[in-house]
Amino acid sequence: MRRERICLRSCFWTHGGPCTGFVYWRRMSTVPPKKMSAGVVIVRVVDRKLKFLLLRAYRNWDFPKGVVEPGEEPIEAAMREVREETTLDDISFDWGVEFLETGPYAKGKIARYYIARSKAEHVRLPVNPEIGVPEHHEARWVDAQTALNIVSPRLKPVVLWAYKRITGTALEPAPG
């Protein structure tokens, strides 16, 4: 098994040389990846309150994510999708590259989510050149309870996991 270094700065480079950004080692595997999407739970702190970035496509709220392309590592796909879907390029993986995977959905696909911080407030939803329109209809920074209330049941564990990983305390769902 071969190993190589991955830079998690906004340059998103795979390289073997010196790096000034946060670097982790990854093992290169010959096992073909399962059908997978990768995304990032992006957070920022506003007035000492944690905010989550959610994107809406039709009636569905989700975090930036997309398909892991052949030969691409999930973390690389997650960072690429953030750039493509939100134009954010200042994210930092302050909590490392730990991830949570959802159960199978959409014909057996698995979604893997990482957590990153952004200092940027403004999110742009650019036009996807393949389809000629933005992939999402709205981007919104919301508090943890609102995120928990508007995401699908498949994503609720992701919100709870991210909140606990960031704050060290469990998020109690609102009654009712």
Domain assignment present for residue 158? The answer is yes
More confident residue, 123 or 1: 123
Domains contained in the chain, number: 1
Q: Which domain holds residue 146?
A: 37-167
Residue 17 has pLDDT above 50, yes or no: no
Structure pTM?
0.78
Question: What is the per-residue pLDDT across 52-107, written as a single tens digit (0 to 9) for each?
Answer: 999 999 999 999 999 999 999 999 999 999 999 999 998 999 999 999 999 888 88
**164 pLDDT tier (thresholds 50, 70, 90):** very high
Average pLDDT, the chain: 83
Domain assignment present for residue 23? The answer is no
Domain assignment present for residue 68? The answer is yes
> Any residues with CB less than 8 A from the CB of 151 and at least 6 apart, and which?
54, 61, 62, 158, 159
Residues 89 and 11: their CA atoms lie apart, in Å, by 8
CATH of the domain at 98: 3.90.79.10
Structure tokens at 92: 């930092």
pLDDT confidence of residue 122 = 87
**40 pLDDT tier (thresholds 50, 70, 90):** very high
